[in-house]
Amino acid sequence: FPSVSCKVQGRLGAVNAGALDIQAGCTGSLTALTVAASGISSGIWDKVLVIGAEVFRDIIDWTDRGTCILFGDGAGACVIGVSDSEGGFTSTRLLADGTGHEMIRLESDEDHIMPIVKMKGNEVFKFVNTVMPKFIKGFCEESGVTPEDIDFWIFHQANTRIIDGVFKRLHVSQEKTLINLPEYGNTSAASLMITLHEAMEAGKIKNGDKVCFVAFGAGMTLGVLLYEA
């Protein structure tokens, strides 16, 4: 402490705003969007600035080639608020499985005073490919849609093999998503925000489209969020 959000609020001069950090690893932005949308729909807030940002360069073991090549620094933000137009965030689903907390973690060792990222990549891959397709299908059923009904997917950019595997199990075309992992690496909580920005800039999201945000990360945590543009 103090929280990063309070530092940002102070530098922005947002004197009428509260501020809070959300720690959910790569699922952080989706979790923050869920909290923000819930607060707006309940009348607690009118506008919320949601930020996803990560700086991995200082917490990476650069001798661990299996991990250090995967991550990148990044930041993205969006403002959501009350609107008279149709659409908006319509449903969400979050899940945690704390029994897998050691799969992705920050940890100190004899060679590093500051904590560094430790990841069991194969276990993460198996976990996501086993759990995520069922999780998304269950969410779609609860939301009254099918995976085929989704016009565009904003997927956390962690691993192209994971995205490929999930899409195949959902029988969804990869033309309905955007991959920027080769350009930036895994930017964790910034990933969804950056991908959303690039998709909008490329004109891939149109009025009336159903857009599904999907993320997973340390914890382990999972999240899906449906938005109607």
Give dist(CA 31, CA 27) in Å, integer: 6
Enumerate the H helices of 146-205 as residue ranges: 160-170, 181-184, 191-201
User: What CA–CA distance (Å, rounded) separates 131 from 149?
Assistant: 21
The helix (run of H) or strand (run of E) holding residue 6 is helix 4-12
Q: Given the DSSP bridges, would you call strands 152-155 and 210-217 parallel, antiparallel or unpaired?
A: parallel
Backbone angles phi, psi at 167, to 5 degrees: -65, -40
Q: Give the closest residue to 177 by CA, choosing from 209, 207, 145, 143.
A: 209
Q: Transcribe 26-65 into DSSP letters.
A: GGHHHHHHHHHHHHHHTTS-SEEEEEEEE--TTS--TT-H
Q: What is the C-alpha separation between 206 and 50, in angstroms, rounded?
A: 22
As a whole number of angstroms, the distance between CA 213 and CA 196 comes to 9
Catalytic machinery residues: 26, 156, 186
